[in-house]
Amino acid sequence: MVRMKVLSRQQETMMIVMVRTRMVKMVKMKALSRQHKTIVMKNCKTCNIPITDTSFSSNLTKQTFNTHSFENLNCMTSNVVYGIECSLCGLIYVGETKGQLRKRMSGHRSKINNKGSQLLYRHFDQADHSVLSMRVRILEKIYHPTNNPNLSTPLRRNREEFWIKNLNTAAPYGCNDNISTIGNLTSPGCQSLHEIYDYTKDLAYTDTRSPEYRLQGVILDISTFRLFQAVRSDKSEEKTNRPFIKVRFANKGIDNLNLGQILNHKTVTEKIPPNFKRKETPGISYSYTPTVASKIYNYKRFLQCIDLSNPSLHPLPCECSSSDFNYSPCGHVITGDLSIVKNDKLRELLKKGPKYRESMSFTWNQNVKIIMDSCEEYARRWAKKEDVQLDTLSEWIKLIIGLLLSRINRLKSTVNTRFVSIFKDPDVITELTYLQEHYVTTPADKASNNYTFYTCKKYYFDSLVKELGLNSTPGNPTYTPTNLSASEIIDNHKSALASFGFDTTNLDLDLPYLNCIPKMHKNPYKQRFIAGSSKCSTKSVSILLTKVLSEIKSGLQKYCSTVYSRSGINQMWILKYSKELLEHLKSTHFSRVHSIKAFDFSRLYTTIPHSKLKERLAKIISNAFTSKNGIRRYKFIVINYDKTYFVKEKSDSENKYTETDIIQMLNFLIDNIFVVFGGKVFQQIVGIPMGTNCAPLLADIFLYSYEAEFIQSLVSEGKRYLASDFNFTYRYIDDVLSINNPKFADYLSSIYPSELEVKETTETNNSASYLDIMLSYDTDGHMNTSLYDKRDDFNFSITNFPFLSSNIPSSPAYGVFISQLIRYARASTKYTDFALRARRLSDKLLNQGYVCDRLTSSLRKLYGRYGELVIHYDVPLSRMVDDILS
């Protein structure tokens, strides 16, 4: 009889590690012994300069190395450490990128051509060098358990520093002059190194007994073992962002003149003074005319007319029972079907959505003034930065005027300059007035920027009354009436804001009003209640807390990423967006899937208890200011216009706050949530309002505190294997996704507080929709993804892309096509899913005035610039064009 030896869990784990180590070594040896497979992309300049052999050496030490990778590498590979070689000088620079190598190299070439100040760019800008002297090799492909470039950034930067040190590419021996953990090696404190290097370069090998030869050895020792010590940073060089000309897009004539093409015209760029530091062509930032939304939506005016103290106004008249658009589950009209609009002109306008802008009449002289005012204002700013007189740019300005006038002469006879607003048509005004007298016009949930919907006034009013629990209706415990008037509350808020250091002089503050929008993707329809006001009295505090909590959340994500990398346990489930999830799904962890579960919090914002919210957030804020051992780590958090950061001791900034300040502001915000309805004020005593700026962050961090606590408790109880089952859990505010953990629902009551209700929304046993992605797996456990749009469930057509006849420039409008194709390609595993979505999109855009040839050009850009997104479809461009645009 053969006896089977039973291994303990520890012995079993050790065996698995040993086997895995041997397999990794075998794969690594095989990977290192092969050449990189090169996929040549059309019009890709990087494909012409790659070095595919896997062996390379340091120019200084002559030590030989091999490329680290378990896969074929090419220009589309991302998350890598790379080396740039000069064909005249050898390997001189090491860099890292989380994106594709081809995009990073494109940025390098652009900086060289624009005479960038970094040492690398100055090297290739020498008289005998150019971008043609530049070649690139991938030194190492970075791997991370989640396959997420963002989470692997610390590791990637550590490996970059490793290669800089071992290949000796730090300045002055190479072109790595700015090393994150050291400083700027070309700062004044390091200039002596350059002088020593230049002096010994020619003499080092002439006489082995010479001091110069021995000095060269000392330099080699410094570069290898002593250089990686912190040096003085050179902060004199400011970050340079692309400049922009601000132009008012008053009419379509601005688009016809094509200012961008004029600014890039060779004769214009040649007029830029040669001694200017900034010579790049400015971009164009447009401001736009108002949309039609303000003339269509009437829900704000309706709410302002409600007076709860005058019962004679209620109930409102209702004629829904006889309407063809009566929604039977509620007995009132709620519809997005524009057949309710009888006037053809108004109906056609509403089909274009609330973001549509009517074209405006214009004169060419008017447009010349608009453009030249913008160019001259930009020239003043440009001259000031270059410390020269405005006259220095006079030739540049004159040439722009000349090209503008020349174009106008060609366009005068072909471009229509007269337009009449549809709102000047008496029949349109009559129809619109009738609709607004009988219905409330609002956006719809999940389509708030796309369409206009109509709701019976009585039903709209009754829905808000029920939410507040008025007139003996069974509401919820979220709101309670207050005896304070709106003016008294606002005065109290001003006093509190002043105590926090906010300037309250000349502030026109108001309390938010309660409104609702229909959730027409639900069956039956539901309501989403929102509190909002552009002049909300707590808005300034909410904006400040948004910056603080964003910085704290970022710190938590970095900390949890480090813990995950070291322990293999993930306690951070928060997602930024669906693209991040798609990056995670590329990991080998999902090579076999056996469970997909989706969940949703019901009314999350209005059910979070205030006491628990304040307690949990205060603890996390305190932890951000203190170390793990309880010792204070930071004294202040500083909030500047574009940056938020912690400081240990002191700061000269006026916008610095202590831990106590932040907690007091948080408590003030939570305790002072008021809404106005019908002239009365109500206090929200449970939950947070959906309209305030920091609401998503409050909910996010509140839920995180319970999720992290749950995982930590499992680990402390010795249940690491159970804790690891939750590694592939993702949450975007109130939507939760769990992969390969079929028993996730059993632990919901152990994770979240009892006040919150979580419902499972999984479609089938092997599929679930999450955010804008449909996930499914086949019998072999292979994961498939496709795009999911809740708006597909609407029983009417929606408008979610701009019409070309709108008063907007055409280039950004066409940009919508390629941006959506990128979104579809990222989300679609199968070509059929991608092509189906893309075909629907092209059909819709063609019906909205887009030109087929320009859409085809955009599709070619997708195939050329973003080939890595579609290359796995193995479909030629010609077929793709036929499938999508023919």
* 293-330 residue pLDDT tens: 999 999 999 998 888 888 766 667 788 888 999 999 99
Is-contact 95 104, C-beta < 8 A?
A: yes
Please report which confidence band the pLDDT of residue 285 belongs to, taking 50, 70 and 90 as the band edges: very high
pLDDT of residue 319: 85
The tokens for 17 are 């590690």
Is-contact 418 282, C-beta < 8 A?
A: no
Domain parsing of the chain, residue ranges: 30-226, 247-288+363-411, 540-769, 786-885
State how far the Cα of 875 lies from the Cα of 886, in Å rounded to an integer: 16
Write the pLDDT tens digit of every residue in 147-161: 666 677 888 888 888
pLDDT of residue 145: 63
pLDDT of residue 506: 76
Q: Which CATH class is domain 30-226?
A: alpha beta
| Mean pLDDT (whole number) for 692-704 | 94
pLDDT of residue 147: 66
Q: pLDDT at residue 453 above 60?
A: yes
Q: Is 535 in a helix, a strand, or coil?
A: coil
Please report which confidence band the pLDDT of residue 224 belongs to, taking 50, 70 and 90 as the band edges: low
Write the pLDDT tens digit of every residue in 609-639: 999 999 999 999 999 999 878 888 999 999 9
Q: pLDDT at residue 12 above 50?
A: no
Please report which confidence band the pLDDT of residue 43 belongs to, taking 50, 70 and 90 as the band edges: low
Write the pLDDT tens digit of every residue in 321-341: 889 999 999 999 999 888 999
Q: pLDDT at residue 507 above 50?
A: yes
Choose among 557, 553, 588, 585: nearest CA to 737.
585
Q: Is 353 in a helix, a strand, or coil?
A: coil
Q: pLDDT at residue 537 above 50?
A: yes
Average per-residue pLDDT for the chain: 85
Q: How many helices (H) and strands (E) does the chain have?
A: 29, 28
State how far the Cα of 866 lies from the Cα of 826, in Å rounded to an integer: 10
With both helix axes pointing from N to C terminus, report the angle between 153-167 and 539-567 in degrees, rounded to the nearest 10.
60
* 454: amino acid identity, one letter: Y
Kindly give the pairing relationship between strand 767-770 and strand 644-647: unpaired
Q: Is the pTM of this model over 0.85?
A: no
pLDDT of residue 32: 41
Residue listed under structure tokens 């930032």: 285
Strand runs labelled E in 268-307: 283-288
pLDDT of residue 229: 46
Choose among 706, 705, 676, 678: nearest CA to 689.
676
Kindly give the pairing relationship between strand 283-288 and strand 244-249: parallel
Q: pLDDT at residue 50 above 80?
A: no
Q: What is the largest CA-CA distance in the chain?
A: 108
Taking residue 398's Cβ as centre, other Cβ atoms within 10 Å add up to 11
